[in-house]
Structure 1
Amino acid sequence: MARPHLALLLLCLLGGFSSARAYPASRESVTLRANVKMNAEQLVVRLDQYLKVREAIRLSASPPLDPMDGLASLVLVLDGYESVISERLEGLAQVRQEVSSLRGYLEDWRSGHCAGPPRTKQAPQGRLARLQGYKEYPQTVGLEGVVGLKDYLVQLLKHLDLLGAC
């Protein structure tokens, strides 16, 4: 007999707990909801803007490597990466200087060892072309440019024989 009373007591207690969790509709509660709504909406807008910026990285994450078909293309690609690596990114001044030195060295080598006039500049292709299409996001493009430059230099190290081709 005690069991039906115990079940009724438990139902009453559980019912009281569930109603105790409901938030009152006081002024403070209305203000809280309004503030949370406003902040959440602002965050959604900021996140949408952030994701639009990240679109550059998603588009250029796995494009084909930049072409390597001789000194002219090497100089062109190094010049392009030097231009997309933003000066505003901290710690890259030395990298930019070293890319400029390498590009200048290759250009001097080409002018001294390749017969005839240098090839006319062609538009960049591959990853670099995509990065140059997103110049409105200099920091994101700069970071992706660092990755692209590194990948390009790794490939150059594997294909040093291309340095002999004008």
Structure 2
Amino acid sequence: MRPILLAAAALIAAPVLAQAPAAPNPQIDYPGFQALTADVGPQRAERLLPFARFKAEAAKPEVLLLDARSSDAFAAGHIAGAVNLPFTDFTAESLAAVIGANPNRPILIYCNNNFRNDAAPVRMKARPLALNIQTFINLVGYGYPNVWELGEVVDFDDPAVGWVRG
């Protein structure tokens, strides 16, 4: 009897679901996102740094080491010298406040999927959804072309990483 009720409910709901789609939200541009992603892909492929070079670049005074994980995850642990701006808080204004007036400032990024530990506070994300990807795309999309990414997987317990526990 239960399958018959589910089938009847589906038949009743079908006309509602089949109605014309709502007008597109003018504040969301998926084709623009697709184009930006296609444009950024080759650049990102050339901007993946081995760990030793990443650490050397991060030590330079003009370089920003940006951690886009949540505030809670950052507080629980991060690479020494990193500045936190959660990805969910990215806006033109918040990025300018953290990055400064020079849009060409070198920005280094890392995220959960750069750590093999897969333990709090850096639980691994699904590979196609790794925060590194969205962070890189968004920084370039907001007008910051000098983005570089840690291209290796490291152990946050390795003293060379410089992990600061919260």
Same fold (TM over 0.5): no
The answer to which structure, 1 or 2, has the higher relative contact order (CA under 8 A, 6+ apart) is 1
Q: Mark the structure with the bigger radius of gyration.
A: 1
TM-score (norm 1): 0.30
TM-score (norm 2): 0.30
Higher helix fraction (1 or 2): 1
